[in-house]
Amino acid sequence: MSTTLQTLWDLIVGPFAEFAFMRRALVATLTLAISAAPLGVFLTLRRMSLLGDALSHAVLPGVAVGFMLAGLSLPAMALGGVAAGLLVAAIAGVISRATTLKEDASLAAMYLLALAVGVTLISRQGSQLDLLHILFGSALGVDAPGLLLVAGVASVSVILLAALYRGLVLETFDPVFLAAAAGRSWNRGWVWQQVFLMLVVVNLVAGFQTLGTLMAVGLMMLPAVSARLWHDSLAAQLLNASAQAAVAGVAGLLLSYHLDTPSGPTIIGCAGVLYLVSLLVSPGGWLPQILKRPHRVG
Amino acid sequence: MKRNTLKRIALSALVASGLFSTQAKAAEPLPVVASFSILGDLVKVVGGERVAVTTLAGPDADAHEFTPSPAHARTVLSAKLFVVNGLSFEPWAQKLAKSAGYKGETVVASKGVKPRQMAAEAGHAHAETDPHAWQNPLNVVQYMNNIAAGLAKVDPSGAAIYQTNAEAYAQQLKDFDAQAKAQFDAIAPTKRKVITSHDAFGYLAARYGITMLAPEGVNTDSEPSAKHVAQLIRQIKREKIKAVFVENMSNPKLIAQLSKDAGVSVDATLYSDALSKASGPAPTYMKMMNHNLAQLVAGMQQN
């Protein structure tokens, strides 16, 4: 009995106990699970599931400007990336409020423009460095500043999300009501939307730099999407998404350690397995739907 | 008699026109395009003042992930000779030449070099050919011959000069090789171990009996596994390796973090796929090799 426990301990706790890089990867992943996954739920509710992917390109012009001003300095490039991401999200938000375009459509237009500007800026520099490749991190290369960045962003965004929760829910589900209640179209709903988008941008950019694009977007969206299959209530969905992201993070890191697979894709793969299971057996999934059907017909 | 005069006139006219054409060529250097900075430098050495070399992927640029622009296509089109490395180092180069409609001569500089296979590691299901053949100076002797032959083909009148330049440089390469061999041999084989951020020094390592450990695969875009990184840290600690290097164009975060975990500090930058700018420590191939040699030897002496 004790040997089994010992083996389990070695398998699950051993890697984290022996290696600092495993501990840092774990903390960064869990932090992202707490702050990014709930934001992902709101994104899916707003039908903006692809925002993360768009933003990973939208940061390019800012990164390029940072590079042009300060050379190959990671903080300058990171700062530029955040600025560009915020600007793209803000302008897209303004456009969707002021015109008949939906949020996703205006965002798609804006990120493509940003990408074009970014590529142009970089080629004007003459250098053909893959700036994003240099700036974006990987799960195993998390350093102390990166950890602080993710943790700081997560703390701020969890608190802000809690403060904004009511307004954001109302704004997400019934923006027309909110606007009518306030009597104007440029009301507090607009503020909520903007702050929410800022949170998403800052979370994503911090995630890109510390863990890479796949990890940042994957941990934000996959658990959020599969959490929606399990619950009707929003609060339960938020908790479920965070929990799934955390489970995927721990399992992925351990699998990457024991099976010798690349860590980022393994973590996202684990989130994918959870998604697949959710698709099959969750209340909103495929099997319950089939089992229910005879009742409906009858 | 009359026929003889005619013959003479024709002959002198021929000589005159021949002279004239060589003069015209000497005044206007032969336009040559090289795919990346190191090749550009080698072509300059062989061609001297007879050629004007343009480099597509310039100093500090990652030739693995280079994206050519229309201007690059125009540059290739205006060239009389296009020099590429081959061994799948720059897959974009052939595409560029094809899409630009380049009809001129192409030299594959690594032709005739014995390719090295990358060890099939985790994450790399199959063994890949290592394209970084120039990291062994003796391979570059072959590069010089190929470049000289290519230049002679488009500019036959300069063939002798190209040959002489290539041979003179080949002697320098052999001298460097002897010097490097002597310096590395002076270090015990168990201490000839080095950590780098990207697996580009296979030919160098094979030539001088160095063990290179890298957390990433041969291409700059692969991602390591946790197991691989863990094994590296264990190995660094067990074998007390102190020589850790980063490379001029990749993200230093992982290697910096890894060496910190293992309790060693990062020594210096090595140049593998691209030269530095003129102000840097490796603006030419020879300076790059000398820089790398000095850094590697200094690092290994701490082991």
Of B62, B253, B261, the CB nearest to A19: B261
Min Cα separation A209/chain B (Å): 10
What b/e sequence results for B250-261 when a residue is b if at least 16 CB atoms lie within 10 Å of its CB, and e otherwise? bbbbbbbbbbbb
DSSP for A35-47 reads HHHHHHHHHHHTT
Amino acid, single-letter form, for residue B258: L
Q: How confident is the model at residue A74 (pLDDT cuts 50, 70, 90)?
A: confident
By C-alpha distance, the chain A residue nearest B121 is A260
On whether ipTM exceeds 0.85, the answer is: no
**What is the arithmetic mean of pLDDT over A105-117?**
91
A256 vs B258: CB contact, 8 Å cut-off?
no
> Directed axis angle between helix A51-58 and helix A213-228, to 10°?
160
What residues does B30 pair with on adjacent strands?
B51
Spans of all domains in chain A:
19-212
Q: Which residues of B touch A (CB under 8 A)?
A: 57-58, 60-62, 65-67, 69, 122-123, 215, 220-230, 233, 249-251, 253-254, 256-258, 260-261
pLDDT value at position B6? 57
Contact A261 B249 (CB under 8 A): no
Q: What is the pLDDT of residue B23?
A: 45
In this predicted structure, what is the pLDDT of residue A176? Answer: 66
CATH architecture of B7-175: 3-Layer(aba) Sandwich (3.40)
Question: CA-CA distance, B204 to B188, in Å (whole number)?
Answer: 17
pLDDT at B147: 95
Task: Kindly state the helix (H) or strand (E) to which residue B81 belongs, with its residue range.
Answer: strand B81-84
The residue of chain A nearest to residue B125, with distances taken between CA atoms, is: A261
Reduced to 3 states (helix: H, G, I; strand: E, B; else coil), residue A227 is: helix
Query: What percent of the residues of chain B are helix, what percent strand, and what percent coil, each to the nearest 5?
Result: 55, 15, 35
Q: Which residue of B has its CA nearest to A254?
A: B226
Find chain A residues with C-beta within 8 A of B125's C-beta.
Answer: none
Decide if B60 and A129 are in contact by the 8 Å CB cutoff: yes
The per-residue pLDDT for range A193-237, each reduced to its tens digit, is 888 888 998 998 888 888 888 888 999 999 999 999 999 899 999
Selected residue of B222, B229, B246 to mutate for chain A interface (largest A Cβ count, 10 A): B229
pLDDT of residue B216: 57
Confidence of residue A186 (pLDDT cuts 50, 70, 90): low
Q: Which residues of chain B are in CATH 3.40.50.1980 domains?
A: 7-175, 178-301
pLDDT given at position B94: 85
Of the candidates A21, A258, A264, the beta carbon closest to that of B261 is on: A21
Closest chain A residue by Cα to residue B229:
A140
Contacts of B250 in chain A (CB under 8 A): 133-134
In A, minimum Cα distance to B254 occurs at A141
Partners of A260 on chain B (C-beta within 8 Å) are 122-123, 225, 227-228
Averaged confidence pLDDT in chain A: 85
Residue A80 reports pLDDT greater than 50: yes
Chain A residues in contact with B60 by the CB 8 A cut-off are: 127, 129
Residues sharing a CB contact under 8 Å with residue A8, sequence separation 6 or more, in sequence order: none
User: CATH code for A19-212?
Assistant: 1.10.3470.10
Distance from CA of A65 to the nearest CA of B (A): 18
pLDDT at residue A125, as a whole number: 66
* Location of structure tokens 């684990």: A270
Predicted pLDDT of residue B181: 94
* Facing A123 at nearest CB: one of B69, B123, B229: B69
Ranges of residues in chain B whose predicted pLDDT is under 50:
1, 18-25, 120-126, 217-220
CB pairs under 8 A between A and B: 105
Q: Which of B65, B223, B249, B258 to mutate to test the interface with A (most CBs of A within 10 A)?
A: B223
Which of these, A204, A227, A201, lies nearest to A214 by C-alpha position?
A204
Instruction: Indicate if the pLDDT at residue A298 is higher than 50.
Output: no
Q: Contacts of residue B220 in chain A, CB cutoff 8 Å?
A: 130, 133
Q: What is the pLDDT of residues B255-270, one digit of tens each?
A: 777 778 887 777 678 8
> Please, what is the angle between helix A175-182 and helix A144-173, to 10°?
70
Chain B nearest C-alpha distance from A283 (Å): 35
pLDDT digits (tens, 9 = 90+) for A134-159: 677 778 888 888 889 889 999 999 99
Q: What is the pLDDT of residues A256-273, one digit of tens each?
A: 999 988 888 899 999 999
Instruction: Return the residue of A nearest to B69 by Cα.
Output: A123
* Range list of H helices, A71-174: 74-98, 103-124, 131-135, 144-173
Point out the residue among A20, A128, A138 whose CB comes nearest to the CB of B261: A20
Pick the CATH number of B178-301 from 3.40.50.1980, 3.20.190.10, 3.40.50.300, 1.20.1640.10: 3.40.50.1980
What gap in Å lies between CA B48 and CA B199, rounded to an integer? 32
Q: How far apart are the first and last CA of chain A?
A: 53
Per-residue pLDDT at B145: 94
Verify whether the Cβ–Cβ distance A256 to B227 is below 8 Å: yes
Q: Do B226 and A263 touch (CB under 8 A)?
A: yes
Mean pLDDT of the A62-69 span:
86
Query: What is the pTM assigned to this prediction?
Result: 0.72
